Structures are given as C-alpha cells and as structure tokens.
Chain A
C-alpha cells in the first residue's frame, strides 16, 4: 500500500515537476528628456530665372525661350517633372528643353510628364520653356494672346 502511494506520488510529481520554472532580474532606465523625434519636411518652389519672361509678338518660324528655376527645401533627395502646356492656338506651341549651366537653353528636348534624375536635398534645378510659332501659321491668328500655366510636380526619393 505504502509502495503504491509512493509510486503514485512520484508519478504525480513527475507530471507537476515536468513544467519548467523561470525567474529573472529586471531593471528600467529612462531616455534623456531632450531626445526628440521629428518628421522630415518637403517643399518645392518655382520661379522664372529672369522675370518677366518675354514670349510676346511671335511671327511664323520664330521662337522665344525663358528659364525656370525649381528649388527644393527640406530633407532627402527629390525629383521633378513638368506638365505639358497648351495654347489652344493653331501653330503656337510650348515645349521644354534642358539647360546648360543655369542661364542657357540647350537644344536637347525635355519630355513633359517625365521624372527627372534624383536631385540632392536643398538644391535648385533648371529647365527651359520654349514658345514657338509654326512657319505655316495662318494669318488669321495675328494678335492672339493666351495665358499659359506650367505645372511642376515634385516628389521625394529614398536615400537608398
């Protein structure tokens, strides 16, 4: 009887004792109060490098150009694209070109709605706006004058 009791107790202890008991030391510390977490910032402005631009009195086969400066403020790399512009006047077009340095329009076309290469933070980029009247423009459009808005879209880029 005693042996059965002892055997039963050992089995019970095996099942109970088979669970592992843990204990650990713990401690805590506070981060210094002047440590702050802030989000980055992102902003872009655009302006004519030479204001006001002169796109007046175009005659057939003539073109006039002006340079736009796009300036980034904030953190991280960025890139931009220029939206297509229309005049609504037959033969009168607005297109874009790249810029040599910061003051000279090149002959290289700049496609609208196409992202530029990544630019460094807090820098300026330049592109050239060209207004042109086709050589075959009809006499009936003489004196036409249209306002044009050129939209620049910018986005930030990861640092990786």
Chain B
C-alpha cells in the first residue's frame, strides 16, 4: 500500500495519528466550536410572536361659510337743491353669527378702471345711502363713472376675517351734474349693471 502524502512513520494503512489527519481534525474541531459559539449567541435571545389586526371608523369634517345677503336693491334718493343720492338695501342672512365672530357688511363700487371703493356697514343695518363724495371726494375725479355695486357679508373671528360670496342681484350707479342758479350739484343715480 502506497503511503499517502504527508504521512510518516507506521506501516502502510496504519491509522496512527499523522500531521495531515491532525490538521484536518483540528480544523473540524475549530469549525464545530465556532458553530456552537454562534448558536449559543443567537439562541440566547427570546423569540416573540403576536396577533395584529386593524379596523377603522370614518367621518366627514367640514368648514362653515359666511352666508351672503340677499335681495339687493338700489333706490334713487332725489333731492331738490341738494346732490342726489342712491340708497343700497339688502336682506340680512338667516341664522345667527357663529360664536366668536363679529359681522359687518361691505358695499363695494367698482368702475371699469381705478381702485374699487369699499364702504363698511355695521351689523344690524340693512341699507346705506351713498353720495358722490362716498365714491370719490375729488369733484373732478372718477365719481361720475358708472360703477357696479356689490354687497358682501363679512365676519371677523379675531385673527381672521371671512367674507361671503357677492350677493345678488348686482346693482350699479352713475353720476351726473346739474346746475341751478349757478350752483353745481353732483348727483348719483341707480343704473343698469
């Protein structure tokens, strides 16, 4: 029997320990020891398992709104030997003002050009009388231009102010002058929007 490489001493086929077998044996023991150490460190933790389930409830969350005024009117207020005026009227929204809010009304007059004029009206009042100076205090200014009149309801909640959509129908005013005995009168009159 031919001796295996690395063997020395002993007859052929002998199972006496040889450096090669010793090295393999030591290697196996080292691997076994490492595996045992790994299993020991892994197996030392506690394993948990539990049941989980989900369910739900649904709801709708909504934000309130400021109700607009209704039935807006424009009435001519003609005066002899005085500047004619217009009276804008409306019907207040139904219901109470939300808690913590303060209501007022806003009447705006907007011409084709220039800056709109806004006139605040306190709560509890449902009309306002307007003369040319309310539109433009400059006699030679834009007071006579045709203006669309819009009325809004507005509620202030301390740190914020909410304004309603514009009320219907829309109204309009226009201006003209008359002279009587050398005095010029600047008149506002209701017009078609």
A and B found bound together: yes
Q: How far is the CA of A56 from the CA of B60 in the complex (A)?
A: 7
Q: A59-B99, A60-B158, A135-B159 are in contact. Are A150 and B62 (CB under 8 A)?
A: no
Give the distance to chain B from A67, nearest Cβ to Cβ, in Å.
10
Assess the B51–A155 pair: CB atoms within 8 A.
yes
- Distance (Å) between the CB of B103 and the closest chain A CB? 12
Cβ of A151 and Cβ of B54 under 8 Å apart? yes
Which residues of A (42-87) have their CB < 8 Å from a CB of B? Answer: 42-48, 52-53, 55-62, 66, 68, 70, 87
The A-B contact count (CB < 8 A) is 130
Interface string of A121-160 (1 = CB under 8 A from B): 0000000010101011111011111111111111111100
Tell whether A9 is near chain B: CB-to-CB under 8 Å.
no
B94 within 8 A of A: no
**A48 and B65 contacting across the interface, CB-CB below 8 Å:** no
In the complex, A9 Cα to B67 Cα: how many Å?
A: 120
List CB contacts (< 8 Å) of B33-64 with chain A: 50-64
**Does B179 count as interface, using CB distance less than 8 angstroms?**
no
By the criterion CB–CB under 8 Å, are A142 and B162 in contact? yes
Do the beta carbons of B63 and A147 come within 8 Å of each other?
Answer: no
- Evaluate contact between A142 and B63: CB separation under 8 angstroms: yes
- Chain B interface size, as a band, is 20 to 34
- Nearest A residue (CB) for B64: A57
The CA-CA distance from A153 to B57 in the complex, in Å, is: 12
> Which of chain A's residues 13-65 have a Cβ closer than 8 Å to chain B?
42-48, 52-53, 55-62
Interface residue B98 (Cβ < 8 Å from any Cβ of A) = yes
Chain B nearest CB from A61 CB (Å) reads 5
Q: Are A58 and B62 in contact (CB under 8 A)?
A: yes
